[in-house]
Amino acid sequence: MADSLVIEPDLVERTLRVALATGAEFAEVYAEDKRSTSMGLDDGRVEQVNSGRDRGAGIRVIKGDTTGFAHTSDLSPAGLAAAAEAAAAAASQGDGTTTTVALTPSEQRVVNTIVQAPGDVPKATKVELLQRINAAARGAGPQIVQVSAGYSDSRKRVLIANSEGLLAHDDITRVLVRVSAVADGDTGMQTGYQTLGHTTGWEIFDERDVEEMAREAARQATVKLNARPAPSGALPVVIRHGTGGVLFHEACGHGLEADHVAKGASVYAGKVGELVASPLVTLVDDGSLAGEWGTLAIDDEGHPTQRNVLIENGVLVDYMWDHVRARKEGHKPSGNGRRQSYQHLPMVRMTNTFVLDGPDDPADIVAATDHGVYIAQLGGGQVDTASGDFVFGMTEAYLIEDGQIGEPLREGNLIGNGPQVLADIDMLGNDFAMGMPGTCGKDGQGVPVGDGQPTLRVKSLTIGGTAA
Amino acid sequence: MSDGADLLAICDRVVAQALPGEQIDAYVARGGDTEVRVYQGAVEHFVSAQSEGIGIRVISGGRTGFAYAGTLDESAVAEVLADARDNVAFGEPDEWAGLATPDGVEATTQELWNESLVEFPTESKIELARELERLTLAADRRVRVDDSNYADAYGEAAVATTTGIRRWGRENGCFVSVSTLADSDGDGPAETQTGFGFSVGREPGQIDLARASKEAAQRATRLLGAVKPASARTTIVLDPFVTAQFLSIIASTLNGESVVKGRGLFRDRLGEAIANPIVTLVDDPTNPLAYTATDVDGEGLAARRNVLIGDGVLRQFTHNSYSARRAGTVSTGNAVRGGFAGTPGVGALALSLVPGTRSQDELVASVGEGVLVQSVQGIHSGVNAISGDFSTGAAGLMIRGGQVAEPVREFTIASTLQRMLLDIVEVGGDIDWLPMRAAGVSLVIRDVTLSGR
């Protein structure tokens, strides 16, 4: 592409020199230029079309164990120098030194190929996409009383440079569509929700049928009109492929982030080489998967993303690392340093986190379960990494009776303890699928993440329903 | 010091460019914050940040377009207006679309700016975070500190519209917070539990390090040795911090925009009893005790006191000017705007239950058998404000013989929002003005399902 860099390299070098002037060991510039378009449809009409522009730089300076950080939306030499001085002052009150920085530009790494940039697609075409979604969901049945849908795309160009000579850049395109349907019946209202998000261009809509997605949301809402209260208590739980990645995200993903581990705030601290899960489980975090929601060519500290095996056949292999933790412990960065925007400090984050296929036929997993719960869609979750206790919601679920999927259940949360649940995975399917796009929150920052897993069974999980 | 003239001037220039038949709303904000994190006595990070930006909404022929930019560069402002205008063409006409118009309601002035915070030196900020870490570690030998933080923020915003709204305001504040870990030291299995403590103020003198450190140590240690309770139908006492989260969910079911779009759980129930008669739920941002007290709402109308549920009866929904127009009523001053990058939605601003008289201990004594719920987990993943299903992870203390007993964790509590409002037995007298959009108070709810062993 013919676009210029977010900041010219000589200005980056000058900024790094200012940042290092108080004797810091490390300085970094992260500059971004992001344009986004979003639109929302609700109650039958496209209510509003929005455009956004975010542009600025965050300067990080590390001296000893102290990190100083400042950011600015002013990318002029004066604006960058002021931010660099603020970051340097924040990191230290120390003596001045002069350090020079020689930047080594790296070729832009490409993991995603964008065929049709969403920014080049007429807004009217995007509006029409939402209208098709609305019509499809409403056409799914007379019980559908309300539909809302949203579309958004963004293109973010970033430049990352640091005092170790790194100079990298990336160009990230995202497209997201969501639909929510409300069905009304004798027992009140129920909801269904579907979302589709990729780091690809508009061509995703050639492959994926958004009307089918809308009908799926409508079907979920309609099915739940006949739902009975979910059971209360511990039962075997079968989770459908491509919906349960959030289980691993919460049950162990966060606990494998090196910052939690370093502070002894993870149940998985000090357990490398130990059996921490059922031997069926191999867990991978991979930010380089083409087109996925958590994908990025380089992480937000400039390191190439890669495939990291976290748990192999149940044994803990490694944690996920950012620059600060890796540098401190002499470990190689794993491409997991991420931040929400130039206004935020990077930290250890997941990208696309998934469990590889196991040996079982998914139909056999259900058939082998006498009495339990089948979860067809999970909602969000939350974990306490230190105790390992975590919850996650079920937004579409059914009773399993005598090896058959039966009546639909109302929504609820499930609760479990990470290490226990990982050990209790007793069947793992051979039907791997990625799930819906997610946003992972940590320390006030949200970043896009992906997840995936084959159909699996946990032999016991506590279901937070109201039925005896 | 600033009087907002520069920000208002930017708004005025944008609004002055309105074409015949166009409504324009310009919102300009500028702010900054400082964040210090201390770990083991040393500064782990120090963040100093400024940001500014503008959001412009254009409405023409019932169609709405919006654009924003995270800068106040003159050229960027021109581009934002052009983008918003371009976007107008693609929305679909909505007969109720429109900006707020001045409604004559006088704003209650709030003291939201404190000059002493502006002059508070950096060294003192670091020292507060260090002192909080020291006090927390001293509170209990089983406690470690994950991080100890001081943060302050200031912000000013101006809004002007072609309909005659023109406002500027600013506020600042500071807070400390500490995250704790507590390790078991007995013969039982090794376990670690977590806690947190915080204190907020309009100026540093209001910060209560003693309370923050004590609560952080207590929250982490109280769950050591906790067991998974047996499943039961039981009565729960919610800690004030949990009640505040519950009230925010209740308020979301009373959102006027959801109601006019047919999604409100109580949409047909205005004037009917939806809660126990002891329940009076008020949204009152004019109360200076509320952390989110404000003089104006997100559209620049005066913030006001609204009784949402009075003596158990649903009195009104919350509205901004759009949802009010659609519902055939007037705005309740409940427009909420999440900064320059968004347009005003509807939401409660400062909720509280009218308190009762008894302390939490007295409530526990009168409950006899049940659970004191001290924290909830996953309240957003397990609650559906449209269907009313309520299910959340929880931790706390068993109540036996009218007294708190052993700690319990890894269980859920479930019911429906409709039933919980009717099943409220008593509101405590211990109202706590938390740094949230809802105040806390102890609350007794009967007949919920506890799922555990």
Closest CA to A376 of A351, A393, A354: A393
Confidence of residue A105 (pLDDT cuts 50, 70, 90): confident
Q: Are residues B231 and B209 in the same domain?
A: no
Q: Note the pLDDT tens digit of each residue in A42-75.
A: 999 999 999 999 999 999 999 988 999 999 998 9
Closest CA to B340 of B13, B55, B32: B55
Q: Are residues B132 and B94 in the same domain?
A: yes
As a whole number of Å, the end-to-end CA separation of chain A is 61
CA distance A64 to chain B (A): 9
- The widest CA-to-CA distance across chain B, in whole angstroms, is 79
A70 located within any domain: no
Question: Which residues contact residue A336 at a Cβ distance below 8 angstroms, ignoring those fewer than 6 apart?
Answer: A257, A285, A287, A299, A308, A320, A321, A322, A348, A349, A350, A351
Does residue A1 carry a pLDDT above 60?
no
Name the more confident of B3 and B29: B29
Give the count of domains, chain B.
2
CATH number of the domain encompassing residue B84: 3.30.2290.10
| Contact call for B377 and A389, based on CB within 8 A | yes
A129 located within any domain: no
Closest CA to A462 of A418, A412, A416: A416
Q: Are residues B313 and B261 in the same domain?
A: yes
Average pLDDT over residues B356-368: 98
Domain that holds residue B82: 5-221
Q: Are residues B155 and B299 in the same domain?
A: no
Q: Does B124 touch chain A (CB under 8 A)?
A: no
A430 located within any domain: yes
- What is the gyration radius of the CA atoms in chain B, in angstroms? 24
User: DSSP class of residue A267?
Assistant: T
Give the count of domains, chain A.
1
Q: Note the pLDDT tens digit of each residue in B40-90.
A: 999 999 998 889 999 999 999 999 999 999 999 899 999 999 999 999 999
Q: Does A412 touch chain B (CB under 8 A)?
A: yes
Average pLDDT over residues B16-28: 97
Domain that holds residue A432: 232-464
End-of-domain residue from the set B221, B242, B276: B221
Q: Are residues B290 and B394 in the same domain?
A: yes
pLDDT of the residue at B358: 98
Q: In whole numbers, what is the pLDDT of chain A averaged over residues?
A: 93
Does residue A95 carry a pLDDT above 60?
no
Q: Where are the alpha helices (DSSP H) in A92-138?
A: 123-138
CB B233 within 8 A of CB B446: no
Q: Closest chain B residue to A417 measured between Cα atoms?
A: B410
Collapsed DSSP state (helix, strand, coil) of residue B127: helix
CA distance B77 to chain A (A): 11
Q: Note the pLDDT tens digit of each residue in B118-169.
A: 999 999 999 999 999 999 999 999 999 999 999 999 999 999 999 999 999 9
Collapsed DSSP state (helix, strand, coil) of residue B293: coil
Residues of chain A with C-beta less than 8 angstroms from the C-beta of B123: none
In what helix (H) or strand (E) does residue A14 lie, and over which residues does it extend? helix A9-20
| Contact call for A53 and B43, based on CB within 8 A | no
- Tokens linked to A403: 């090896």
Chain B segment 200-259 residues within 8 A of A by beta carbon are 223, 228, 231
Average pLDDT over residues B301-314: 98
Q: Residue count of chain A, please give it.
A: 468
Q: Note the pLDDT tens digit of each residue in A118-167.
A: 999 999 999 999 999 999 999 999 999 999 999 999 999 999 999 999 99
Kindly list the distances between the CA atom of residue B95 and the CA atoms of A91, A95, A147, B63, B260, in Å, as whole numbers in the listed order.
Answer: 55, 65, 19, 9, 14
The total of other beta-carbon atoms located within 10 Å of residue A413's CB is 35
Q: How many CA atoms does the CB half-sphere of B289 hold within 13 Å?
A: 10
pLDDT of the residue at A99: 60
Closest CA to B344 of B98, B127, B113, B32: B98
End-of-domain residue from the set B161, B189, B221: B221
Q: Are residues B340 and B412 in the same domain?
A: yes
Collapsed DSSP state (helix, strand, coil) of residue B433: coil
Confidence of residue B185 (pLDDT cuts 50, 70, 90): confident
CA-CA distance, B9 to B54, in Å (whole number)? Answer: 12
Please report the number of interchain residue pairs, chain A to chain B, with beta-carbon separation below 8 angstroms.
261
Residues of chain B with C-beta less than 8 angstroms from the C-beta of A54: 69-70
CA-CA distance, B89 to B364, in Å (whole number)? Answer: 60
What pTM value is reported for the model? 0.93
Residues of chain B with C-beta less than 8 angstroms from the C-beta of A55: 69-71
A400 located within any domain: yes
Q: Are residues B360 and B259 in the same domain?
A: yes
What b/e sequence results for A296-308 when a residue is b if at least 16 CB atoms lie within 10 Å of its CB, and e otherwise?
A: bbbbbbbbbbbeb
CB B67 within 8 A of CB A37: no
Average pLDDT over residues B190-198: 91
Confidence of residue A245 (pLDDT cuts 50, 70, 90): confident
Name the more confident of B301 and A251: B301
In angstroms, how far is CA A122 from the centroid of its own chain?
28
End-of-domain residue from the set B167, B197, B221: B221
Q: Are residues B157 and B282 in the same domain?
A: no
CB B245 within 8 A of CB B382: no
Confidence of residue A98 (pLDDT cuts 50, 70, 90): low
Q: Does B48 touch chain A (CB under 8 A)?
A: yes
Beta bridge partners of A177: A151, A196
Place of tokens 């850049």: A169
Q: Note the pLDDT tens digit of each residue in A312-358.
A: 999 999 999 999 899 889 999 999 999 999 999 999 999 999 999 99
Chain B segment 279-338 residues within 8 A of A by beta carbon are none
Q: Note the pLDDT tens digit of each residue in A394-425.
A: 999 999 999 999 999 999 999 999 899 999 99
CA-CA distance, B163 to B323, in Å (whole number)? Answer: 17
Collapsed DSSP state (helix, strand, coil) of residue A42: strand
Q: Does A393 touch chain B (CB under 8 A)?
A: yes
Beta bridge partners of B118: none
Q: Note the pLDDT tens digit of each residue in B78-127.
A: 999 999 999 999 989 999 999 999 999 999 999 999 999 999 999 999 99
Does residue A87 carry a pLDDT above 70?
yes
Q: Are strands A438-442 and A347-348 parallel, antiparallel or unpaired?
A: unpaired
Does residue A96 carry a pLDDT above 60?
no
Average pLDDT over residues A346-372: 97
CA-CA distance, A351 to A347, in Å (whole number)? Answer: 12
A364 located within any domain: yes
% of chain A residues with pLDDT over 90: 81
CA distance A44 to chain B (A): 9
Q: Are residues B295 and B155 in the same domain?
A: no
Q: Are residues B66 and B32 in the same domain?
A: yes
| Contact call for A343 and B51, based on CB within 8 A | yes
Q: Are residues B146 and B284 in the same domain?
A: no
Q: Does B53 touch chain A (CB under 8 A)?
A: yes
Q: Note the pLDDT tens digit of each residue in B243-281.
A: 999 999 999 999 999 999 999 999 999 999 999 999 999
Q: Are residues B453 and B339 in the same domain?
A: yes
Confidence of residue A5 (pLDDT cuts 50, 70, 90): confident
